Structure 1
Amino acid sequence: MQIRDLPYPDPGVPDARSGPRFLWWLFRNQLGGQLKALAWGLVHFLSVSALPFCVGVAVQAVVDRSGTRLALAGGLLLLCSAGNAIGDTFLHRAAVTNWITAAARVQQVLARKTAQLGSALTRRVAAGEVVAVSTGDVEKIGWFVEAWSRFTAAALTVVAVCVGLVVYQPALGVVVAVGLPVLAVAVLPLLPRATRRADFQREKAGRATELASDTVAGLRVLRGIGGEELFLDRYRSASQEVRHAAVRSARMWSLISAIQVLMPGLLLIAVVWYGVHLAREGRVGVGELVAVYSSIMILTYPLRHFEEIAMAYSFSRPSARRAARVLSLERATDTGGSLDGAELPSGDLYDPATGLLAPTGRLTAVVCGDPDAAGRLAERLGGHPSEEGTSVLLGGVPLDELPLDRARTAVLVQDKDPVLLSGTLRDLFDVPRSGDVDAREALAAAQCEDVLAALVQGSLGAEDPMDARITERGRSLSGGQRQRLALARSLITDPEVLVLDEPTSAVDSHTEARIAQGVRHLRSGRTTVVFTSSPLLLDRADRVVLVHEGEVAAVGVHRELVHAEPRYRAVVTRETDEETAARSIALDAGPGGEDGHGARPAFEDGHGAGSALKDRHGAGSSLKDVLKELEEIEESA
């Protein structure tokens, strides 16, 4: 695989059982590139290591006044220099290719896993950790995979030089052959401590990245509550912890580097002292002594790769462990795609874990007192089974037995905090769709007229709203505007089943009422499930389900449940004891009505919209004000 051939058509299925197994999987998948780097590494290192022998032959030829051997030594020097240059060039090329292709493979499998898990990923792993894995960790993993072939070439070169020295000059060669392994293992006792410090540093760096990512994601909220300084102080503290950990780790690696310089120097002193003694006795020639001396000097170069592979493994091991953790996450129990090729299922959506039933072709509203429980249930309806392995059924077919693309064609889940990527509005709507709903219908149903006007005004030269640009995550828009654009994107796909988790939590009550009517009209005949506690949405649902403590507690319509079910009323109206008493008085005093506009229904909607109206009327507002506001909402809807 060359860099120009990236991305991989199929990056493969990673072995995510552990960090070392993941690294071994990467190595096996790059065996061709590793062997190529190893071959060029041997050419390079052997050419460098052969230079001292050539110099030794040349010196001895001068001493012996042999022109033939001097010419031979010159030819060997030329050959070794050419091998050094060519080997170094292609080794670097092969090493960089291995590094980039390994990193690209990791990024592809991570991207595939992210697409597979969807919004469930950040519920299981912190968003900052995902960022750390897909950026810095990918680089560290690629470094180790790339460094392995160079280390292997260096190790083979050291062995070859030791054997050559023993054959060339046994008396000095034995000393070098015994001393070099000692040099190689001299730093081994320090490696565990250095590895622990490197792991600690990476852990601190990962936490700082998570904190920074979460702070940036919530920057708008932090500014609203004046919490910038608090989180800035937290990040300063986390950053200082990373700095201290990095200094402690650097000290250990500096000590290892110092030993890697000191030990070859001591060996060189020993060899020179012993070689001079042998030369004075006539047992070693001058050229041979120069060759052995130069070989030891040259061997410090390949020996450096022993330190590098230790560092690369120390830094890549926690990175590989984090990557394996993300890659080991599954959206469902693996059934091997037993329904691959089957027709797309249709029918009622049923969750056996809670007993929730969403009849086909109807708008079902789900009320949960716990927002986190609602998020988990919405995730499960999208095909992610519960911890017990229970899968949601669509028309009697388990969703987790469907291939991922078919499952997402059948059921689309819009998360509570949908993400808008940067680009034009046309790019935002460039999603898989049935073709039965166009952009204008979806935008109208989601009440995006003011959003389109804001986008055109903020984009220079964009007359068509579809060509208006959206900034990253839609940060130039308000929370309600982003929410409505995300809703329009979900509506345009026109899935068999659409699951919306609090789709109008950031919009005002007037707009919310119009959105409820628009969604009901556009999704007519389609199965829609809305998780909400808004009376304006609940009142327009065909069926309302109360989920309490993980089970369906009540089923009906909004106006029935708000009277008959206290737990439902407590979630929807957020009534206090005083409000309950006032409600009873108003119901007794007000005129009845069966058409939905009498005092009883109006009060239900008014109290149900209490959380939406509270901001406008305040806690001390009279019941008359609330009822009047609600009547205006219903008339405008």
Structure 2
Amino acid sequence: MQIRDLPFSDPGMPDARSGPHFLRWLGRNQLDGQLKSLAWGLLHFGSIAVLPYLVGFSVQAVIDRSGERLAVAGAVMALCGIAIALGDTMLHRTAVTNWITAAARVQQLLARRTAQLGSALTRRVAAGEVVAVSTGDVEKIGWFVEAISRFTAAALTVVLVCVGLVVYEPALGVVVAVGVPVLALAVLPLLPRATRRADHQREKAGRATELASDTVAGLRVLRGIGGEELFLDRYRSASQEVRTAAVRSARMWAAISAVQVLMPGLLLIVVVWHGVNLAREGRITIGELVTVYSAVTMLTYPLRHFEEIAMAYSFSRPSAKRAARVLSLQRTTHAGDEQTAGSEHARDGAETPTGDLYDPATGLLAPSGRLTAVVCGDPDEAGRLAERLGGHAAFDDAEELPSVLLGGVPLDEVPLATARTAVLVQDKDPVLLSGTLRALLDVPASGAVSADDALQAAQCADVLDALAQASVDEAPLDAHVTERGRSLSGGQRQRLALARSLITDPEILVLDEPTSAVDSHTEARVAEGIKGLRKGRTTVVLTSSPLLLDRAERVVFLHGGEVAAVGEHRELVRSEPRYRAVVTRETDEEQAPVALDDIKIGIDIEETA
């Protein structure tokens, strides 16, 4: 795999059981690149390892006044220099390729999982953590994956040098062979503490990232209530905690680096002292002493990769754990892979299911071709229901919920693309991407609903006027919408998102509180627009607004997670006290008989517009 071949046509199905399992899976999927990096690493380190023998051979040739042997040593050294340069260049090239491709694979996996889960992802994982995983964590994971091959090459070189010294000069070689494992293992007692400090730093950094993300997202609200300084102080405090944790972590890694410098120095002193004594006794030659000395000096280079692999694993382990946590989230708890579900419909994938929408968990039935309003006393329950109606069961929950049925077909067993074609869910906080209004409304659609019709039904005339004023020389559809629509009011963003959903003209449209930020007069017109534009199509609106409920053909009241009453809005207001309490915002003390004229004030408010 080369960088120019990115992105992957298929990044694969990751082993997300744990962080180490995920790292091993990444390594196996880049075996070809790892072997290339290992081969070039062996050439590079092996060529360096030969130099001490050539130096000792050259010194002895000078002592023996042998010009021929000196010339041979010089020629071999020149070849080694070329091999070192070639190996270093190609090792760096393959290592960087492994790093980038591993990071790209993780990013693709995260993007695919995010697209599959949609807004349900942030109910299980904080948005700031998802950002941290898809940015900083992927680099650390890629670092460890590419460092494996370089560490393996360095370790094999160290073993070969030790074996070669034992064969070349046993008296000194045994000292080196015993001392090198001590050097490699000397930092192990420090690693647990260094790992804990690194994990603490990651935790603090993740919290700071989440705080910054939340602050930016709510900046307009903070300015409205004068809370900028409060959140600035909070972020400043979080930033200082990150700095303190990073300094403590750096101190530990500095201590590990110091040990990596000190221990080889001590070994070198021992080798020189023992070698000089052997040379005085005539048991070894000066050339052999120089060879062993040079070999020990050279070993400090590959031994540095032992420290690097320990550091890379320490930093990548929590990153891989977070990535595995996100990647382990599934669309359902019981349907398996959404692309290979076991039903005949999933295997066929030929047609989009149609018919009534039924949720066995609550008993909710949305008849085909009708506008059904659903009233839930708990907004969180309404959000979970909306996701479930879109084919996203309550994954990772302790209790498994049965799949929603569309025309008798379980949505969990339908391929994700087919389920999303059949059912479109607009949550209560839809996101507007930056760009032109035309690009924002350019979404996959049936073509039966034009942009003008959708904008009119969603009552977006004032939105177009605001965008036209901001872009005098451009048509409204070519006007620029800022990131997340922050230049627009909450109601304008909500109506613009509603227009985008209406354009798609799905078989089933699920709207979760589509008018919660809209004033009453505009809400009445939006309700009429939805009803008129979606005539003959299945629409489910989760709301407690009397204006929307009064225009629904069927109202379903959920209490305690189950259907408690079904009927028309005015009928339920009269007959169901619990429904009336939710719709009219009554307290327990106020649940006395209510005059119908008072209720009709909320129902017929549009008539006074």
TM-score for both structures, normalised by structure 2: 0.95
Partner of 1:56: 56
Q: Identity of counterpart residues, as a percentage?
A: 79
Partner of 2:384: 376
Any idea what the Cα deviations from partners look like across 1:471-496, whole Å, max 9, x if unmatched?
Answer: 11111111111111111111111111
Partner of 1:110: 110
Aligned-partner residue type, residue 369 of structure 2: G
CA distance in 2 between counterparts of 1:334 and 1:324 reads 20
Partner of 2:586: 575
Any idea what the Cα deviations from partners look like across 1:450-509, whole Å, max 9, x if unmatched?
Answer: 212222332364x22222221111111111111111111111111111000011111111
CA distance in 2 between counterparts of 1:519 and 1:429 reads 17
Cα deviation for residue 583 of structure 1 reads: 4.9
Q: 1:489 aligns with which of 476, 500, 515?
A: 500
Provide the aligned C-alpha RMSD in A.
1.6
Mean Cα deviation higher: 100-109 or 429-438: 429-438
CA contact (8 A) 2:510 2:541 kept: yes
Partner of 1:525: 536
Cα deviation for residue 226 of structure 1 reads: 2.4
Aligned-partner residue type, residue 372 of structure 1: D
Any idea what the Cα deviations from partners look like across 1:348-390, whole Å, max 9, x if unmatched?
Answer: 1111111111111011111111111111111111112244231
Q: How does 1:81-120 map to 2 (within 5 A)?
A: 81-120=81-120
CA distance in 1 between counterparts of 2:22 and 2:315 reads 14
Mean Cα deviation higher: 203-212 or 92-101: 203-212
CA distance in 2 between counterparts of 1:513 and 1:372 reads 25
Aligned residues: 597
Q: Does 1:469 align with 2:480?
A: yes
CA contact (8 A) 2:100 2:142 kept: yes
Cα deviation for residue 577 of structure 1 reads: 7.6
CA distance in 1 between counterparts of 2:271 and 2:442 reads 72
Cα deviation for residue 581 of structure 1 reads: 7.0
Aligned-partner residue type, residue 430 of structure 1: D
CA distance in 2 between counterparts of 1:176 and 1:470 reads 68
Q: How does 1:173-572 map to 2 (within 5 A)?
A: 173-332=173-332, 333-335=334-336, 336-337=340-341, 338=343, 339-340=345-346, 341-386=349-394, 387-459=399-471, 461=473, 463-572=474-583
CA distance in 1 between counterparts of 2:404 and 2:532 reads 26
CA contact (8 A) 1:166 1:177 kept: yes
Any idea what the Cα deviations from partners look like across 1:309-361, whole Å, max 9, x if unmatched?
Answer: 00000111111111111111111123432222242111111111111111110
CA contact (8 A) 1:536 1:605 kept: no
CA contact (8 A) 1:535 1:605 kept: no
CA distance in 2 between counterparts of 1:583 and 1:392 reads 37
CA distance in 1 between counterparts of 2:136 and 2:498 reads 34
Any idea what the Cα deviations from partners look like across 1:65-124, whole Å, max 9, x if unmatched?
Answer: 111111111111101110111111110110000000000000000000000000100011
CA distance in 2 between counterparts of 1:460 and 1:271 reads 81
Partner of 1:604: 599
Aligned-partner residue type, residue 373 of structure 2: A
SS at match of 2:444: coil
SS at match of 2:7: coil
Cα deviation for residue 205 of structure 1 reads: 1.4
CA distance in 2 between counterparts of 1:576 and 1:15 reads 51
Partner of 1:634: 607
Partner of 1:627: none
> Which consecutive unaligned segments of at least 5 residues does structure 2 have?
none
> Which consecutive unaligned segments of at least 5 residues does structure 1 have?
588-599, 609-629
SS at match of 1:119: helix
Aligned-partner residue type, residue 410 of structure 1: A
TM-score for both structures, normalised by structure 1: 0.91
Any idea what the Cα deviations from partners look like across 1:612-633, whole Å, max 9, x if unmatched?
Answer: xxxxxxxxxxxxxxxxxx55x2
CA contact (8 A) 2:547 2:602 kept: no
CA distance in 2 between counterparts of 1:319 and 1:434 reads 42
Cα gap change, 1:577/1:273 in structure 2, threshold over 3 Å: closer, same or farther?
closer
Aligned-partner residue type, residue 424 of structure 1: T
Aligned-partner residue type, residue 426 of structure 1: R
Cα deviation for residue 436 of structure 1 reads: 1.1
Cα deviation for residue 253 of structure 1 reads: 1.1
Cα deviation for residue 635 of structure 1 reads: 5.5
Any idea what the Cα deviations from partners look like across 1:177-222, whole Å, max 9, x if unmatched?
Answer: 1111110011111111211221121122112212221222222222
Q: Does 1:15 align with 2:15?
A: yes
Aligned-partner residue type, residue 436 of structure 1: A
Cα deviation for residue 230 of structure 1 reads: 2.6
SS at match of 2:556: strand
CA distance in 1 between counterparts of 2:515 and 2:85 reads 66
SS at match of 1:361: coil
Q: Does 1:34 align with 2:34?
A: yes
Runs (4 or more) in structure 1 with deviation over 3 Å come to 575-584
CA distance in 1 between counterparts of 2:8 and 2:593 reads 67
